[in-house]
């Protein structure tokens, strides 16, 4: 289990004045905003896949996101120890692995189903790391919603696509743990920028091998930049700030909102219809997330 999150650090970007973003918006609002951004960005990425392929989209997303973060944050590279750089390597590897595996899944199965399977990773992390009975109950309720959203029959999906989604979920759990550690070891979003750059380097050979010079088409780069901003720069920054103030188990339960957001994005962007069962599943997931947040808030008040 990751240690309890430290107090919020200054807001992202050099020369920023005023209270930290996490303190202004609240960690739960940061997580929800990040979820909305990343899932609608994923819907745009699905539209981009016919142009650049799944691995090409991952490469565009990570390389362009790393470029934006390095320019905005201008992270320092001196003064850190071996453990700090080990955290960056682990965080960057988890980020690259999560994206590569997820887009391989989204290329084979519907977006909502891919996210539904992927979110099992954070849910399992929540159950394994939580020491409160109520958190286990909320995680179980969210899991029920996730299974219901999948239609109770994931066996109908492409087996390889489902396997990629499950593997992406394991990397997502690792991402949560190492994002929290990175946020405590590095100021602002410096650690995120460095980890994103490392992840981009890992993905670059794979993207070039699959897409080649298709990655250099201006319109493809433009869409890739939109995906990078919506799916990486904004949500990862918001999540890193949130994890400075939220324990990893609570954050992991909040990730169960992702299938609901993905279903909405699929409906609005990809014209994927929502059934009554989907609506019930979304209600269960949202209810579980709200319950987890209220439980954490009561625990925090008692600890004060």
**How does pLDDT run across 165-200, given as a tens digit for each residue?**
889 999 988 988 898 899 889 988 899 999 999 999
Residue 264: what pLDDT? 75
| In the chain, domain spans | 26-303
Any idea what the Cα angle at residue 1 is, between residues 294 and 123, rounded to 5°? 55
C-alpha distances out from residue 298 to 139, 250, 289, 292, 304, Å: 17, 13, 14, 10, 10
What tens digit of pLDDT does each residue of 52-101 get? 999 999 999 999 999 999 999 999 988 899 999 999 999 999 999 999 99
What tens digit of pLDDT does each residue of 13-54 get? 333 334 444 444 588 888 888 888 988 888 888 889 999 999
Could you give the CA distance from residue 68 to residue 296 in angstroms, rounded to a whole number? 34
Residue 23: what pLDDT? 47
Report the predicted TM-score, pTM, of the whole model to 2 decimal places.
Answer: 0.74
């Amino acid at each position: 289990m990751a240690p309890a999150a430290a107090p919020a650090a200054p807001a992202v970007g050099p020369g920023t004045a005023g209270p930290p973003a996490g303190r202004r918006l609240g960690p739960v609002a940061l997580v929800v905003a990040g979820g909305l951004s990343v899932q609608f960005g994923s819907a745009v990425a699905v539209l981009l896949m016919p142009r650049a392929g799944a691995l090409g989209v991952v490469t565009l997303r990570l390389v362009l996101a790393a470029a934006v973060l390095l320019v905005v944050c201008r992270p320092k590279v001196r003064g850190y120890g071996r453990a700090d750089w080990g955290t960056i390597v682990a965080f960057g590897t988890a980020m690259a692995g999560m994206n590569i595996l997820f887009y391989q899944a989204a290329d084979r199965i519907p977006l909502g189903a891919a996210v539904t399977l992927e979110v099992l990773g954070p849910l399992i992390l929540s159950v394994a790391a939580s020491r409160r009975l109520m958190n286990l109950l909320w995680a179980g309720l969210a899991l029920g919603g996730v299974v219901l959203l999948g239609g109770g029959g994931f066996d109908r999906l492409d087996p390889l696509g489902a396997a990629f989604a499950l593997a992406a979920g394991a990397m997502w759990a690792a991402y949560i743990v190492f994002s929290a550690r990175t946020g405590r070891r590095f100021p602002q979003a410096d650690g995120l920028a460095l980890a994103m750059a490392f992840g981009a380097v890992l993905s670059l050979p794979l993207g070039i091998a699959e897409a080649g010079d298709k990655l250099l088409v201006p319109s493809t780069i433009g869409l890739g930049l939109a995906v990078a901003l919506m799916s990486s720069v904004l949500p990862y920054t918001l999540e890193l700030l949130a994890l400075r103030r939220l324990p990893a188990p609570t954050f992991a339960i909040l990730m169960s909102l992702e299938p609901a957001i993905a279903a909405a994005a699929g409906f609005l962007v990809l014209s994927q219809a929502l059934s009554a069962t989907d609506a019930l599943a979304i209600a269960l997931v949202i209810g579980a997330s709200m319950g987890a947040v209220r439980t954490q808030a009561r625990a925090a008040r008692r600890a004060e």
